[in-house]
Chains A and B, each alone.
Chain A
Amino acid sequence: MSTKVKDTILSLLVYLSSFLTICSLVAILGYILWNGLGALNFNFFMELAPSIITTLLVIFVSILISVPIGICAAIYLHEYAKNKRVVELINFAIDSLAGIPSILYGLFGLVFFVITMKLNWSILAGSLTLGIMILPTIIRVTQESLKMVPDSFREGSFALGASKVTTLLKIIIPAAIRGIITAVILSIGRIVGETAAVFLTVGTVDKVPDGVMSSGRTLSVHFYLLVKEAIGPDAFNQAFGTATLLIIIVLMIVLFTQFLFRGRND
């Protein structure tokens, strides 16, 4: 086969793959929005208010718990740890954690946080569980973005007499902030979409939570219950409405996060 033919085939394959990827995204989003946008109105929104609040609270508390720990762990592993063997071992453990099915995290959260720690079904118990679940994503993505910071930045800073902490805060983290934000956004996506682990730790109570110690029902869990267990002619429409709302919330969070850090390292 001539090089030219191979070239053409390869570029066709590449185009086809990207086309299929975009198609599936558009098809799923389109299908949900087509069926869901009609269900959205003020009453529907008020009905779902408890779930919206619960979802936002779960996201907020999980991120609050997990992001600082994850970023610090990544900084330790990439910037401080000297023993390469130990780092590799820890990274292997982190990757293994990332591969565990979420329902097992849910089971752990149920046994440990809900029962043993006596947190009951609560937003806190769920957020702690989800916090552990998203930790691998945050650590690994942050590590990767720290790797992208050229060593010449570190050298330049040290050569001016900067300490390690100053170099971290003023040079390395600002240069890696894009990647760190990506880590947070990916985590939010996982939290919003998570059902099994949340079902087992936050519970299914459909009311406005009055704090992190109360139980609640996130949008994903609500969606699951609508599709799986609700009876009535309208259940499916409501499920699509809920899904649409989920997509809108995620989109808003992503845009808001990017707005917060706009103009950084371009």
Chain B
Amino acid sequence: MDSITKIKTENLELFYGEVQALKNINLDIKEKEVTALIGPSGCGKSTFLKTINRMNDLIVGCKINGKVIFDDIDIYGQDIDIITLRKKIGMVFQKPNPFKMSIYDNIAYGPRIHGVKKKSSLDEIVEKSLRKAFIWDEVKDRLKTNALSLSGGQQQRLCIARALAVDPEVVLMDEPTSALDPISTLKIEDLISELKKNYTIIIVTHNMQQGARISDRTAFFLSGEVIEYDLTDTIFTNPKNPKTEEYITGRFG
């Protein structure tokens, strides 16, 4: 398989103060694939995810060494515009976090801050984004109602639509279904499989079956290191590292 590399990390290390949370991470994330990050709690998978759109910048005392190369540019290099970076690399969080405003305004928030003003363009973006996130039919008649009145699963699809509205190339998802019921989870999984036709997706998941179902490649994290990274089929059927096998078969974690 000769897919194009979208994101590449080189000797990536991350420290919270004195504590090292990521050790020597070297990963090649392929374009228009779903990459799953799995591992026990506190293994650094969410931390790793947040280095990709520099959300860790918000944490005081967080220090990063090494490189994260996105489309041939080191995002921790000089002259990097974080606003543009985050426009290209969207993020969906563990807990649905729609803003306290209408469904329409939630979706239009991103495009508006990036300079889209025309009502007709905004209308078009809102509809397109909601359709892409499979939620248009459920909300098209009540775009002006507060987004917080939606169910948890709908809120999460709204958040995915919100991320898509700024036209990203990569979507990071941090355990996007962990707060949702099984039916909503299934809808989001279907959505992810659909989205990978156009977007590169990196998803952190606690649910190994989910990882196996939806991802093309899987990275197994343990204590801040990547123990194994391979095609998902290989990781789940024929892991090379005994620790991966132990985790996959549920012996710890």
Check B110 against A152 for contact (C-beta < 8 Å). Answer: no
Check B55 against A155 for contact (C-beta < 8 Å). Answer: yes
Contact with B along A234-266 (1 / 0, CB 8 A): 000000000000000000000000000000011
Contact with B along A158-170 (1 / 0, CB 8 A): 1111110010001
Interface presence of A174 (CB below 8 A)? yes
Q: Quick one: given A152-B97, A171-B99, A174-B100, are A159 and B90 in contact (CB under 8 Å)? A: yes
Check B86 against A161 for contact (C-beta < 8 Å). Answer: yes
Please list the residues of chain A having a beta carbon within 8 angstroms of any beta carbon in chain B.
Answer: 82, 150, 152-163, 166, 170-171, 174-175, 265-266
**Closest Cβ–Cβ distance, residue A167 to chain B (whole Å):** 9
Check A155 against B99 for contact (C-beta < 8 Å). Answer: no
Check A152 against B162 for contact (C-beta < 8 Å). Answer: no
Please list the residues of chain B having a beta carbon within 8 angstroms of any beta carbon in chain A.
Answer: 53, 55, 58, 60, 82-87, 90-91, 93, 95, 97-101, 109-110, 113-114, 146, 159, 162-163, 166
Check A175 against B90 for contact (C-beta < 8 Å). Answer: no
What separation, in Å, do the CA atoms of A175 and B105 have in the docked complex? Answer: 14
Check A156 against B86 for contact (C-beta < 8 Å). Answer: no
Check A150 against B97 for contact (C-beta < 8 Å). Answer: yes
**Closest Cβ–Cβ distance, residue B191 to chain A (whole Å):** 18
Partner of B83, one of A152, A154, A161, A171: A161
- Name, among A152, A161, A166, the residue most crowded by chain B CB atoms within 10 Å (CB to CB): A161
Partner of A163, one of B55, B83, B85, B166: B83
Check B97 against A155 for contact (C-beta < 8 Å). Answer: yes
What separation, in Å, do the CA atoms of A82 and B97 have in the docked complex? Answer: 25
What separation, in Å, do the CA atoms of A266 and B147 have in the docked complex? Answer: 12
Q: Which residues does chain B contribute within 8 Å of A162, judged by CB atoms?
A: 83, 109-110, 113
Partner of A160, one of B86, B95, B98: B86
Task: Closest B residue to A82 by CB, please name it.
Answer: B60
Check B84 against A161 for contact (C-beta < 8 Å). Answer: yes
Check A161 against B55 for contact (C-beta < 8 Å). Answer: no
Check B97 against A161 for contact (C-beta < 8 Å). Answer: no
Partner of A153, one of B99, B146, B163: B99
